[in-house]
Structures are given as structure tokens and as C-alpha cells.
Structure 1
């Protein structure tokens, strides 16, 4: 059986990393292994130093599991400096670098060191916690080596891959493996909103944000995390697909400061075997629509509650994260083709990808020092607010965006709907402001949380 030798064509430093596959012609060529590929791709993988300054308090109750929650914010204030180390990948000659959000989150200072030991100051231009991605711009960079993105939808299980990182500033590491799974959601930990390429290539500690490349030297994913029982690098690795990375870079180039996802305006559930049987489907596949917002683009395109969505642009979807991923890589302003099954018949329908409408006006208000809960931020429910808080589509009234330090202490949570304060009905954000200014010695707040009514009562 022939083995693959990767021979790098003549490249200048300003060219994307490319490679060509050829059949080895001699024993000497066979012994080279992945060396030519690594030599070509490694210069585009960098080390990231992030310094994070946090405000903490020295308290005698800090280590007590019971009392520490009652004395948060009390004690001697002190700044603490935390250092984070990780990897990143250069995606353009002018210094666009992509890494993980958890590597650079809330960093006050970021330094990037390239494979040839050049150092650059960097700033985060776009970051998103749910996707665990961050786009950085290197200051004063030009003519840098970079990797070319590959369409990750064309990646197949069984492909040879390399995981390249630059951890801890001690030099680059390379590990090899294969793609062992596609469309992995939730199993990598975190919020469960992720959508990953699964690989058995070991992802060494500090390799978060590094490159997962194919045998042609193209980037197919950004290494994110590893699922391991031992706590080491042996386990199942997860990489964020290149198609999502491409959308991040595109929005960063457009000057966006927050990552924008298309809004579905619907809720659904995976179709399992029992549900497929009740619906008369031959195989359990797709997502059953269980709720539609009146402004949903799916509703406007003709979808109804009870319809099943099985594909997006010809690619199967079997969970909400998969469909969100497919919509996201399509991009706002574009259209995607959804395969709908209704009464046993399959129909392809085009749906416009839109932002969540910020209508009617959300009227956000942050309560000031005159209020009994300063820092509490509330807004009227609309699609944009509902999407931001990830609350049910039926949410209405005034919602808590941020409880603030005092609101959190009395039990308020983001997404709570405020129904009444001291028996005064709340319908607008100004009602909250009025009710919490000189309310008396006691405050009672009637709330709706995750479909359940509850009351908070506290004394001033």
C-alpha cells in the first residue's frame, strides 16, 4: 500500500501555506513522514500570552463554603494578576490571528510570539464565549505566514490530521491522528452550544487555539479542548470547524464588536425513535418545531408547529446546535434551503437569515444610586432581548438583563420576568424604576422564572 509524502512547494513568507500530495519514490522520501508539512504550516501557529487583572477581596470567610456567599464584596480590596497561555493561528499576512475565547477572555494585555520569536502586541477585535472563539489583530504586522481555510463541510471521518500548538512558550508541539467524528455537539463540555470536529490527535496542554490541519496544510479547525479521564492529553479532541472561523474573521473585518448569529425565532426538539413512529416517519431524524415566534423568518416562509426540519442546504441536522451552526455559517443577509417534512412529504424552502428584531423598543434602563437595587438592568421583551437572554419565545413584559450586585444578593437572575413590585403591576421598564425608588421598608417582587411563578421578599 502506498504511503503519502507531503512535499511543500516553493513559498514566500507572504503566501498561504500549501502542500501537494505525491506518492513517495524512495525509502528516503518515505522516512520524511510529516516533516515537510509541519515545516510549512508551523510558522503560522503562534504562542499567546494574556494578562488578566481581577479585583478580589481578602476576607476571613473566603475559604468557608457557607459564610463566603454572605460576605462577597466585603474585606480588603486587592488586584490579582492572572496569566493565561495558549496558542493561536495566523490567517492573514497583516496579522489576523484566531484563538479560543477562554485563552484571551477579559485580558488587559496580550502579547503574541511567532515561531521565529518575533513579538507583537495584540488586541481582541471580536470574541464570543459560546463559540469559544476570538479574533485578534497584531499591531504593526505585515508579510506574515498564514494558513488557508478549508471548507470544513467536506472533511470526512478517517482523514489524517495534525494538531499543532505553541504551548507555554517552550516551542511548538505536533501530534497526529485522524478525524474520528463530525457534528459533535455538547459532549466537549462548556455550554453545549458548540459544534465540533472530533479527532483522536492528542491536544497537549496549552494547545487551545492551535491549528488542526489536513494533509494538504489547510486549516480545518481550531483546537478547543480535550475530553480525558486522566487529565492529560490522551483522550478525544474537539476542534471548532473552519467554516465558523471564516464567519468570525468576516465579521471582524466588517468592524463588528459582537458576533451576530441569525435568529430562528423557533423552538424544537430532536426526533427520536418514539417521536418518529408517532409522526409516521420511517427513520428518526431532524428537528420537530414545537414553537414559533410571530416574527420568526421560518413562520414567514411557511413553516408551522409540527413540521420537521431534516436538512439545511442538503446537510443533515438532528439537533438545535447543528441547525444554529448551519444558519451561522450561512451568514446574516443570506438565504439557506431547509428541507421540511409535513404529512410525509418533503419540501425544500428557502429562509432568509436575519438578526433578531429589536422591535418593539426594548427601553433598557439601569437603575441608579437612588434605587434600592442600584445596577439592576431591565428591558422590555422583544426578539432581540429574548435571544440575548435565551429565554422562552413566549417571554413577555419586563425582563432582568443584569441583576447587578445587590439584585443578585436578593435572588434575581438574568431572564427573570418582573410581574409586580409591592403589588404594583409592571408593564414598562420605567415602572421598575419608579417602584424601586423609596418603596418602603419591605420589597416584594413577583417574578416568572422558567415558567414558574415565585416571589422575592426582602427588608431594606
Structure 2
């Protein structure tokens, strides 16, 4: 009996620096995680999201079949999603996944004591797969505190709390099985994750990954699986990024603003490491720098290798972006790097993507040929809004509008010319369309593919 108690105590114990609470009596030992779950579970909620979308007919752009099937077009469809969330404050701030609540028109949050609240999205970001919600008329809410995810170590005991398959709140246990996982999550989420073997299943998305002191270390977001069920490889978005999201939401931001690096880079593998004269593979090689990049301003140049951000190593562009994203806009990050074989450090400003050159955004009016077409000049801020990388110049489509979509234009297309005349400013497009005759030709670029769109007015 004494041996079993000692073994259980050793399992429940965590590193001394984590201020682990050791079970105080035989009753707590026999209950296992029950006291912890009883304290943390009320802050984990079920989320029911609903959105109405118009179903577009596949024949909408066909001049013949469009008339035949016009009665079957634009039928609304209701999409329902089920997931989990975590209350983070007394006044009802909730974090969940974007893929659970993104674009929802109706969000209902249910606590485990069956109280229900209507929620509104304060801030959402599809790339990070995070959304911050606010419960209406909420006060004195149960909530979890955030632990700095940089203090988490592989091997720590963790609990995953959520609503898998809609069966009700469920708790599963495991350990942190990996850190700094990047590019391994499914769906739209990209970046840096905590890996755990605690079972995570559909419906757990947005739920809590907590340590044995009941502090939130991550938001469960995805799994790697071939069968659709948990195979012991799950991913959680670190709490450090969640804290940054909450801060921006409270500041009134409705879109997450990432610090702008103004660079392209690649991981340094063994071959690159030998070529660069580095002692070991690691870091991010700067391939290109925008002229007004804050890294360029700090003295870095293409060919330098970024090794760390604020003392934390970075080995992929995703890791580097994560380390920058947890810093506030307006702050400075300490960058360690190697330049021409010499180790150096620099302070780099964390700035929002700049509106340089000015976007000069225009939207064609109802009297124009392509009503609703919205155009802007390419700049870092515009590219960030569209989720595009790189730099360069040109006139880009922010929204094709109904008429633009009919002729084949898409968000993110670059407009090169109208009727053979080069487009140099967003306002040029409307002017050239007004001067065109019955036949119109638009030259555009989609990725690396050149397009020629012809139509008649």
C-alpha cells in the first residue's frame, strides 16, 4: 500500500518551479484528478454556432443553363458547428477556435451548469484559428488563469477538457509530448503548437489544455489522424498567443494584427549549415528583405541567419512569426543572428504592416461597368489583409463584386491592364472602363498565371 501511494505521489508531482500542489491527504489521493477537474471544468463551455450561407448554382455563370436553373440559385443553407471554449475573465471573455465560430451569425454558449448566454465575436483570425468572444450580460463568471506557455516542458501532466462529439463535457489526461511543433496542424491553422497525447476528438476544438494546477497552457485545435479519431497526436495553440489575442480584443481590434517582418526566409538544414559555415543546423536564413522592413532598419541583410527571438530559438519561419506575434505592436524584440560568420544581436521594432505606399482604395459605383469592384494599390498592409506574402507593386482586387465575379475576377488578382492600356493606379481601372467600347479586355495576374478576361457591355 505504501509503495502504491508513493508511486501515485510521484506521478502527480511536477517540476518544483511549476509550484505544484501536492495532494494533502488520502482522500485527495484516492480521487485522482477529481478536485482539479471540479475547479477547472466550470470555465470550459460548449459552443453552438450557426451561420446562413447562400448556395450558388454551378450554372450561375453559364449564359444558357443560368436561365434554365435560375429558380434553383441562391438557396440559403444553414451551417451548424459544435465546439468548446474557455472563459478567461470575470466579465465573460471566451477563447475558442475560429473554425468553430468564424462567420457565425448566431452563437450560443452553454456552461456546464446549463446556463446559456448569447456571445459576440470580438476578434477572430482564420490563420491562427483563434477567436475571442464576449458573453452578453455576463458577470462573476468562472474562469481560468493563463500560464506562460514558454514555461511548459515535455513530459508534464495535462488535462484536455471539452465536448467531443457533442456527448457533453469530457475530461481526458495525458502529457505534453512535444513543443515547437510547426506546420503540423490540420485545416487553416498554421504556426506553432503544443503537442499532447491527451485524447482530443471532434468537438474538443476550442477546449482547454490545462496543467495540474488548473492553469490554461493551450487551446485544443486539431489532431493528426487517419481514422477521424484520436491517435494520440493532438495540437494546442499556446497560451502566450491567446494572451496577445485577448489584449488586442480588449483594445478594440476586430482583426488580429501581427508584427510585420517584411522578409522571406527558409529553415537552415544540414546542407545550408555547411555552406554558411555554421556549427550546427538551425535558424532562419533571410532570403529577401523589404526595403522598409524593421529588420533591415536594424541592420540585418539577406544572407543573415536569425537564431532566436527574445532568447527563444527559432528554426522555422512559423516559429519566428509566433515569437514575434506574442509581442505587442510598438514593442521591441531582441534578435540574435549570425552575419558573415559573426554572432550579433539587434533590437527590432514590432510594427504593424505599413500603408506604404498609400493604398488609394476605390470601389466602382452602381453607374460603373463592374459595379462593386474594389481595388487598391499593393502594400504590406493590403497583403496582410489578404493573407498574401511577398512585396512588389501593382493594383490588386480586394473584392470582385457581383459583376467582377461573373467575368472571372477573384480576390487577390492583380489588374495589369484594361483594353491593352497599363493600369498604374486603382482609379485608372474605372476611367479606362468608362472609355471602353462594347468589348472589354482585362489583363490580370493570379499567382504566377496570366489571365485575359474578355466580355461585352
When normalised by structure 1's length, the TM-score is 0.90
After superposition, residues 106-255 of structure 1 pair within 5 angstroms as 106-167=103-164, 170-191=167-188, 193-255=190-252
Structure-2 separation of matches of 1:169 and 1:367: 46
Structure-2 separation of matches of 1:372 and 1:39: 63
**Equivalent position to 1:304, from 301, 306, 320:** 301
**Equivalent position to 1:353, from 342, 350, 354:** 350
After superposition, residues 58-457 of structure 1 pair within 5 angstroms as 75-167=72-164, 170-191=167-188, 193-437=190-434, 439-451=436-448, 453-457=450-454
Structure-1 separation of matches of 2:226 and 2:433: 50
Once structures 1 and 2 are overlaid, which stretch shifts more, 368-377 or 32-41? 368-377
Structure-2 separation of matches of 1:318 and 1:285: 5
Once structures 1 and 2 are overlaid, which stretch shifts more, 275-284 or 400-409? 400-409
1:21 counterpart residue number: 21
In structure 1, runs of 5+ residues without a counterpart are 8-17
Partner-residue secondary structure (3-state), 1:87: strand
In structure 2, runs of 5+ residues without a counterpart are 1-5
Please state how far the C-alpha of 1:436 moved relative to its aligned partner. 2.4
Structure-2 separation of matches of 1:406 and 1:277: 54
Is this contact kept in 2: 1:6–1:216, CA < 8 A? no
Structure-1 separation of matches of 2:236 and 2:151: 15
Once structures 1 and 2 are overlaid, which stretch shifts more, 75-84 or 169-178? 75-84
Please state how far the C-alpha of 1:306 moved relative to its aligned partner. 0.8
The structure where helix makes up a greater share of residues is 2
Structure-2 separation of matches of 1:262 and 1:107: 27
1:35 counterpart residue number: 34
Structure-2 separation of matches of 1:192 and 1:217: 26
Structure-2 separation of matches of 1:293 and 1:73: 48
When normalised by structure 2's length, the TM-score is 0.90
> What whole-Å deviation, never above 9, does each CA across 1:311-339 have from its counterpart, x for those lacking one?
01111111111111111101111111111
CA RMSD of aligned residues (A): 2.6
Structure-2 separation of matches of 1:175 and 1:132: 22
Structure-1 separation of matches of 2:281 and 2:163: 43
Partner-residue secondary structure (3-state), 1:437: helix
Structure-1 separation of matches of 2:48 and 2:153: 34
Q: 1:55 to 1:247 in 2, by over 3 A?
A: same
Is this contact kept in 2: 1:371–1:438, CA < 8 A? no
Structure-2 separation of matches of 1:452 and 1:412: 13
Is this contact kept in 1: 2:248–2:256, CA < 8 A? yes
Structure-2 separation of matches of 1:20 and 1:158: 14
> What whole-Å deviation, never above 9, does each CA across 1:266-314 have from its counterpart, x for those lacking one?
1111111211111111211111111111111111110111111010111
How many pairs align?
444
Structure-2 separation of matches of 1:128 and 1:74: 36
